[in-house]
Structure 1
Amino acid sequence: MTTIRDVAQLAGVSIATISRVLNNSDKVSPDTAKHVRAVINELGYVYSPPLSTRRSAADRQQLFAIILPTLANPYFSELLDIVEQEAQFLGRALLVFNSRGDAQRELALLNACKQYKIDGLFIVPCSRNTAHLTSTERQPFPVVVLTKLVSEMTSVAVDHIEGGAQVAEHLVSMGHTAIGYIGATDETEQKFLGFRDTLMTLGVPLATENIIQTPALTAGEIAERFKEYLDAHPSLPFSAIFAFNDVAAQQVIEVLYQRGYKIPEQVQVVGFDNTLLAQVMNISSVAQPMREIGRLGCQEMIRLISDKERDTRHLTLSPRLVLRNSSVKVNMRRF
């Protein structure tokens, strides 16, 4: 992480001069100030002015912020719209930041929020590993995590294990005995764990060759990874596949169509999130109660701001599998 000392050293000035520039002091010449700001931009230094850990109601700016991992996935765009509506109802404006799936950028944005004197921050972690968030010193504002449960932080999320289990139960009930999965597969990816473990319990274990690991966030990267898998498997080894989100499900369906497969006659596909994308493309998907996530997230934020209760809470909501044409019952080819 770049420090003010790093900036001063590269700019060839004192730390005091850097501080004066950051605070817009008129004691620094325009040329020096311009040079210092150029160095700050080059190093990506984020200024975090000291703030007291708690502010009185009179000091509050009626301002929330949210850090999202991407806006390319319609799920996060829909979540943003809901949180903004809830914040507006509470009389707060909402600053929006995009970490672009980068943990270092996410941490820099977290620190940058300090200078805006926000009342509270919502965050959807870009990584399943949240050590970089929980290891930072206490923020001068409350933080509420949305869509994921983080043990050290107040969180609101759907039960991903149950969501994965529902997909497994559905596909087995449809008669599938060879089932695939595309997405992240580490021990923190709960929807995968619920899916895999339930398949095992139902006597249809998830074969290693049917797992396509792709922690990628962009549609293009997911499509390329799936194409590589199909190139290595000219004869598709499964008759149904669970995609870790709706963007992945869409890409899987489009690539399968390109390769001549029929959906759902030959391959059935289920996604996760039940976004507008899934609804428009008629993809079966696990619905997350986003309206409830946004409402409870704001409710928890107000609780933390009030200073009456500062304890960490974890609110878990139930998912619901919504069935559509991508996984309906048809005369399937057996594998």
Structure 2
Amino acid sequence: MSKERVTVIDIARAAGVSKSTVSLVLQGSHLVNAATRDKVNAVIRELGYVYNRGAANLRQSRAKSGIIGVVVNDLTNSFFAELAVGVDDVVQSAGYVQFLSNTGENIDRQRQVIASMREHGISGLIISPARGTEAADLKPLTASGLPVVLTVRNIAGAKVSTVMSDNRAGSSAATEHLLKLGHRRIAYLGGFDDTAVHEERLAGYRDALQAAEIEPSEELVISSAPSRAGGVDAIGRAMTVAAPPTAAVCFNDAVAFGVCDGLRSRGMEPGRDFGVVGFDDVIEAKTAVPALTTVSVDPQGTGRRAAQLLLKQINSGSPAAEAIITSVRLVVRQSCGAGSSAYPERKAS
């Protein structure tokens, strides 16, 4: 069967019904009994067919729609707003319009918004997938030939293009910096532990500790929602262990901001009484008090790269998978305690 489009005839053949029956199902007609309708809909989902009311065929509608779908898992995190700005910079100059949707980590919502975008004939899709998304969830998209680019979060086995940050190197650099400031009890706070990005950043943290001949302490690795509230929760739990940490590498900037909130609720000042390092370098990181030390991944730049890769696939007509890993850098500001007499800088032992 052609990968470029699935036809009504293909659906009818696979379901063992007539073409007219498939058409009635697509139109939502009640003339088709429930059992047959369910069978046809199951085949439609399996083959990745999209009923585009305004087009004669899927390829033609994509070429003319001028719409790029962008689906993110948490728009309350300003990282994704900045990423969307980067996407828009590129697609707008190419004559496309961005349709942005937030899933709130809900896979069912993710399926709904992607289905709606496809019915509007999107030319391609950029997605930071909801927690728990699997390669099989993307198979209907790739089967239809729709160009797809994953960003921020990778999915094992998904045969689509990706734009990811060098998470392991970034987290390692953050941990190494805290070690140089004299810390030995360093926590890793925040993030869902069932996501690839969490695993990569945690691995970098452990790499740096082991290189300094410090055995990573599992009681100092605390998972939480990758949000400000999650950061408050994580630092609260971290400070209850028998030997509390003196610094933390945080899953992202949102968690780091929450850690700072949680420290202040305990009468501790970030950068003076406790070292904090984030990950992302969102706009607020520079203006926070204290200014946040963080691993810069350039959210807008990530969006631009994802959009450029997607447009390349759309224009070439070939959604061959490509993988881009963007470099990161540690931006040292006040929250880590650099320059503070509380943390005299010295080499890690």
Normalised-by-shorter TM-score class: 0.7 to 0.9
SS across alignment from 1:60: helix
After superposition, the C-alpha distances for 1:228-262 in whole angstroms (9 at most, x for unaligned) are 443x34x6611110110111101101110110113
Q: Residues 240 and 299 of structure 1: is their aligned pair in 2 closer, same or farther, counting only changes over 3 Å?
A: same
Deviation at 1:78, TM superposition (A): 0.8
SS across alignment from 1:100: coil
Aligned partner of 1:49: which letter?
Y
CA contact (8 A) 2:238 2:245 kept: no
Name whichever of 57-66 and 190-199 sits farther off: 57-66
Aligned partner of 1:280: which letter?
T
Aligned partner of 2:51: which letter?
P
Q: Which residue of 2 aligns with 1:143?
A: 148
2:259 to 252, 259, 284: 252
Aligned partner of 2:202: which letter?
F
Whole-Å separation in 1 of the counterparts to 2:57 and 2:322:
20
Name whichever of 317-326 and 193-202 sits farther off: 193-202
SS across alignment from 2:321: coil
SS across alignment from 1:262: coil
Whole-Å separation in 1 of the counterparts to 2:333 and 2:270:
12
Deviation at 1:77, TM superposition (A): 0.8
Deviation at 1:48, TM superposition (A): 4.5
Identity of aligned residues (%): 23
After superposition, the C-alpha distances for 1:165-216 in whole angstroms (9 at most, x for unaligned) are 11121111111111111123457221111111221122123211111111x1
2:86 to 82, 88, 109: 82
After superposition, the C-alpha distances for 1:64-87 in whole angstroms (9 at most, x for unaligned) are 110011111111111111111211
Residue 240 (str. 1) matches residue 230 (str. 2): no
Whole-Å separation in 2 of the counterparts to 1:72 and 1:262:
26
Aligned partner of 2:182: which letter?
G
After superposition, the C-alpha distances for 1:32-88 in whole angstroms (9 at most, x for unaligned) are xxxxxxxxxxxxxxx941688851488521111100111111111111111112111
TM-score, reference length from structure 1: 0.79
Deviation at 1:333, TM superposition (A): 7.3
Q: Which residue of 2 aligns with 1:201?
A: 211
Give 5+ residue unaligned stretches, structure 1: 1-13, 28-46
Residue 154 (str. 1) matches residue 161 (str. 2): yes
Whole-Å separation in 2 of the counterparts to 1:77 and 1:167:
24
Give 5+ residue unaligned stretches, structure 2: 1-20, 32-48, 345-349
1:300 to 295, 309, 314: 309
CA contact (8 A) 1:69 1:124 kept: yes
Whole-Å separation in 2 of the counterparts to 1:129 and 1:253:
31
Residue 286 (str. 1) matches residue 295 (str. 2): yes
After superposition, the C-alpha distances for 1:120-150 in whole angstroms (9 at most, x for unaligned) are 1111112265334344452452111122344
SS across alignment from 1:325: coil
Q: Which residue of 1 aligns with 2:180?
A: 173
Q: Which residue of 2 aligns with 1:105?
A: 109
Whole-Å separation in 2 of the counterparts to 1:133 and 1:197:
33
Superposition pairs of residues 53-64 of structure 1, within 5 angstroms: 55-56=59-60, 59-64=63-68
Whole-Å separation in 2 of the counterparts to 1:122 and 1:58:
15
Q: Which residue of 1 aligns with 2:121?
A: 117
Q: Residues 290 and 229 of structure 1: is their aligned pair in 2 closer, same or farther, counting only changes over 3 Å?
A: closer
Q: Residues 299 and 262 of structure 1: is their aligned pair in 2 closer, same or farther, counting only changes over 3 Å?
A: closer
Residue 325 (str. 1) matches residue 337 (str. 2): no
Aligned partner of 2:81: which letter?
S
TM-score, reference length from structure 2: 0.76
Q: Residues 61 and 236 of structure 1: is their aligned pair in 2 closer, same or farther, counting only changes over 3 Å?
A: same
CA contact (8 A) 2:151 2:164 kept: yes
Query: Aligned-pair RMSD on alpha carbons?
Result: 3.0
Residue 69 (str. 1) matches residue 78 (str. 2): no
Aligned partner of 2:180: which letter?
S
Whole-Å separation in 2 of the counterparts to 1:294 and 1:219:
23
Q: Residues 247 and 128 of structure 1: is their aligned pair in 2 closer, same or farther, counting only changes over 3 Å?
A: same
Whole-Å separation in 2 of the counterparts to 1:93 and 1:121:
12
After superposition, the C-alpha distances for 1:279-305 in whole angstroms (9 at most, x for unaligned) are 111010100133432222222112211
Q: Which residue of 1 aligns with 2:38?
A: none
Whole-Å separation in 1 of the counterparts to 2:106 and 2:144:
20
After superposition, the C-alpha distances for 1:305-334 in whole angstroms (9 at most, x for unaligned) are 124543210011100110000011323379
Q: Residues 168 and 285 of structure 1: is their aligned pair in 2 closer, same or farther, counting only changes over 3 Å?
A: same
SS across alignment from 1:101: coil
Q: Residues 218 and 174 of structure 1: is their aligned pair in 2 closer, same or farther, counting only changes over 3 Å?
A: closer
